[in-house]
């Protein structure tokens, strides 16, 4: 058996345990820190924000979230819903401009049984996809290879953000 070292995953495991136990919302915590590489927040609008997922499914995995800490789209006002969708489109445009993916997965998980890792703060996942971005690793070893550090991706996206806003 070969060993794949992923020491950064321990930070995620510990952080997830602590935040669940203390009822901390990573989106609200990032929002308090504002736009910064540390928070991974790229943009904050009147009602919603764009941020990178610290533990992405693929490089460039964005989270588009309302400022309101609510569990479902049904809890949002029309202006929040409108900005949420507008920022989703702008996020897709930004990823197309900078990363040139071949396609996207865009989705919302509402409720634990639907796959929501963060049940209390609804958010939209925008995951860029490329032909051949899946290989044998997820199938054979349940491991996803992310080839670029999330903070490097942040810098690339932040540098071109004004072009889509």
For residues 145, 150, 155, 158, the Cα torsion angle rounded to the nearest 10 degrees is 100
* Global pTM value: 0.82
Provide the pLDDT for residue 131: 87
Stretch among 14-23, 32-41, 113-122 having the lowest mean pLDDT: 14-23
Provide the pLDDT for residue 140: 46
CATH of 8-163, one of 3.30.360.10, 3.30.428.10, 3.30.1360.40, 3.30.70.20: 3.30.428.10
Q: In this structure, are residues 84 and 106 in contact, taking their beta carbons and an 8 Å threshold?
A: no
**φ, ψ for residue 47, nearest 5 deg:** -125, -5
Provide the pLDDT for residue 156: 96
Is residue 69 annotated as a catalytic residue, yes or no? no
Q: Domain map of the chain by residue range?
A: 8-163
Q: How far apart are CA 14 and CA 151, in angstroms?
A: 20
Of 61, 121, 123, 125, the catalytic one is: 123
Average confidence (pLDDT) over 106-112: 91
């Amino acid at each position: 058996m070969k060993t794949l070292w992923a020491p950064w995953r321990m930070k995620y495991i510990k952080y997830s345990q602590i935040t669940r136990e203390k009822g901390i919302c990573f989106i609200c915590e990032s929002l308090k820190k504002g736009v910064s590489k540390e928070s991974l927040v790229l943009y904050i609008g009147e009602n919603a924000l764009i941020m990178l997922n610290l533990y992405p499914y693929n490089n460039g995995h964005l989270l588009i979230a309302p400022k309101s800490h609510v569990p479902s789209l049904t809890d949002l006002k029309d202006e929040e819903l409108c900005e949420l969708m507008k920022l989703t489109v702008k996020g897709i445009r930004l990823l197309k401009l900078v990363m040139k993916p071949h396609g996207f997965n865009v989705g919302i998980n509402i409720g634990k049984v639907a796959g929501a890792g963060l049940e209390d703060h609804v958010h939209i996942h925008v995951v860029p996809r490329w032909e051949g971005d899946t290989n044998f690793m997820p199938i054979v070893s349940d491991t996803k290879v992310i080839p670029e550090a999330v903070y490097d991706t942040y810098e690339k996206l932040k540098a071109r953000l004004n072009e889509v806003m």
